[in-house]
Chain A
Amino acid sequence: MSFLQIDKVCKSFGSVNVLRDISLDVEEGGFLVLVGPSGCGKSTLLNTIAGLENLTTGEIRIDGNVIDDLPPAERNIAMVFQSYALYPNMNVGQNIAFGLEMRGMPKDERDIKVAEVAKTLQIEHLLDRKPGQLSGGQRQRVAMGRALVRNPQLFLFDEPLSNLDAKLRVDMRTEIKRMHQALGTTIVYVTHDQIEAMTLGTRIAVLKDGIVQQYGTPAEIYNDPANLFVADFMGSPAMNLIPATVRGNTVEMARVGEEPLVLDFKQLPDDVATRDGKEVIVGIRPEAITDADSRAAIRAGQQVTASCKIDVVEPAGADIYAITSLGGKEVVTRLHQDWFGQVNQHAELVFNLEKVVFFDRESGIRLR
């Protein structure tokens, strides 16, 4: 049985439905990431798990017990907030101990607990400081300490890294992952950053407009997106989504002033094959379009090589992103760093057909 079960949860404010029929299961020790654009309902879902907001219908269970009617403090859940929410009038030690104090733990026991946690997080030297005297990274640690000290059965994180600068964010990301591996406590983590979602989660739920668009492992979400929204939202640079026409076992993509580019599949998926002569959306990630020298191209089984005009070249250190135009869209390709093509000239590009996915043009649903 799953440890955390979110069962047909709906939440509405007046006539606005913020969460619509959300069902998610997480195994014990799992790391669930809720990801989506702002206003998608991910924070509301987190708040309902925490008990900070009531749900309209549905049930949330932890370890088989329904927690819907319990106040937040009795759910044995700890939460790390976006702003860290450290009590400004208390020092670090008091902040960490406050939850224990509210539960009536005697002072000497509290002190031992706080000391333990402070040691784990290496913030022992900060215990007497006020939150105002701490750096962003230190506050982040204290907020984690406050959650850790209660030894909860579930951790909630509400965009905990979004207030940090880029470098610190990467460090703290690793830190959270390490903490999760060491403690094995189940985590629900909200972010709008799809890289955080990919790197941290064992399970990812992509939300939009209060609906789960796709729920799966990071690999499933990345390689096998359920619809256009997920395909577009996850991954950076984003997946190329190119309008194309189905012709037998091939798809054609229009080009300005040139013959259309034809990708010849040995066997199109059934849903695509039935749309002969119609338009579909072809999804292909930048790394699936590369130059002939790249190893990825050599390893790919089924591939098509075509000459394309390069419009823009963006060196990015390890790779070069070259942009061409297909089906009226800018198409990003990821090339080897030693590639030496020129802007406004043609280059041989290799398309890895095994990585291509198809979507319905109107509904955006994946065609399989």
Chain B
Amino acid sequence: MSRSTQPSFRTGKILRAALYSVLILFAVYYLLPLFVMLVNSVKTLDEIRGGNMMSLPEAFTIEPWLVAWSKAQIGVEPTGLSPYFINSIMMVVPAVAISTALGAMNGYVLTKWRFPGDKIIFGLMLFACFIPFQIVLIPMARVLGMIGIAGTTSGLVLVHVVYGLGFTTLFFRNYYAAFPDELIKAAKMDGAGFWRTFTRILLPSSGPIIVVTVIWQFTNIWNDFLFGASFADFDSMPMTVALNNLVSSSTGVKEYNVHFAGAVLAALPTLIVYVVSGRYFVRGLMAGAVKG
């Protein structure tokens, strides 16, 4: 992404300045909400009510963050968001690991061990990426109940694995499709079977796509609200649902500073992932957007 397609037209200084102004203006537009959240999460409630949302805090306080983390009222319990943060972690880690592993094997089979009908299977998996989840909410609730994991973190893990499979398979399939078939033939001639070809030849070269897939799955599952709201009970509620409860609870005084601290806390893991490995994040978005 470093090469510019622009041939060298001569550009006037004024035009150039205008160009940069526009670009910076947009940067401000994208940064403003985050700035507002951060600034107001370290203000006292009085200062927020009386003051300007754009101004820097007069009296810096970390209190809202502490309240959001461990004291805020979520539903009926004054636990703060911390138990739900942990719920999210307990849900995200296994769901990402399982769906990525399955996706890798699916991609391997669908590209290197092709068989009649494999394209239809891939098509079925791909379409599953796009279904509106409303169509599965009712039966899913019943099936989770039937197998006894309704309202549990395990139930959410299952849900996220199932509905992440299409994407993980797509990522690995596209990556492995570009992996030369001759390497697989060479491994066969060398005596490596199905598994050893996978573990010794393909997996060691799959670093980038594993990172892309893990980031994609992590972001999606962490940010999910619909499944959490539908299938979690109070003890297994993920972070997004807890945040929404906190923000939209109609009882008592609205503690905006706590809401913002909570929102930033909920956004933090995905933001950190994005900052640390934005390159791969973008690649995942692209792979998700440009199919085939």
Contacts and interface: CB of A to CB of B under 8 A. Distances in A.
Whether chain A touches chain B in the assembled complex (some CB pair under 8 Å): yes
Interface of A: 47, 50-52, 71-74, 77-79, 81-83, 85-90, 98-99, 102-103, 146
A94 to B, nearest CB: 10
Shortest beta-carbon contacts, A-B, top 10: A73-B191, A102-B191, A99-B190, A89-B204, A85-B186, A85-B182, A81-B182, A72-B188, A85-B183, A72-B189
A73 B190 contact: yes
B192 A102 contact: yes
Interface in B142-198: 180, 182-183, 185-192, 196
Contacts of B180: 83, 85
B23 interface: no
Contacts of A99: 189-191
Contacts of B188: 51-52, 71-73
B205 A81 contact: no
A10 B232 CA distance: 60
B201 A89 contact: yes
A72 B183 CA distance: 14
A81 B185 contact: yes
A74 to B, nearest CB: 8
Contacts of A74: 191
Nearest to A88: B205
Interface of B: 180, 182-183, 185-192, 196, 200-201, 204-205
A85 B185 contact: yes
Given A72-B188, A81-B182, A87-B187, 17 more contacts: A47-B185, A52-B185, A72-B185, A72-B189, A81-B185, A83-B180, A85-B182, A88-B183, A90-B204, A98-B187, A98-B190, A99-B190, A99-B191, A102-B191, A102-B196, A146-B186, A146-B190
A75 to B, nearest CB: 9
B199 to A, nearest CB: 11
A140 to B, nearest CB: 14
Nearest to A80: B186
Contacts of A47: 185
Contacts of A85: 180, 182-183, 185-186
Contacts of A90: 204
A223 to B, nearest CB: 36
B116 to A, nearest CB: 10
Nearest to A71: B188
A95 to B, nearest CB: 9
Contact of B189 (A50, A82, A86, A88): A50
A87 B189 contact: no
Nearest to A99: B190
A74 B204 CA distance: 25
Contact of B182 (A71, A72, A77, A82): A82
A327 B200 CA distance: 62
A216 B176 CA distance: 41
Contacts of B201: 87, 89
Contact of A98 (B182, B185, B192): B192
A74 B180 CA distance: 23
13 contacts: A47-B185, A52-B185, A73-B189, A73-B190, A73-B191, A77-B189, A81-B182, A85-B185, A85-B186, A87-B200, A88-B183, A146-B186, A146-B190
A83 B180 CA distance: 9
B186 A79 contact: yes
B182 A83 contact: yes
A51 B78 CA distance: 68
Q: Which residue among B180, B186, B189, B201 has the maximum number of chain A CB atoms within 10 Å of its CB?
A: B189
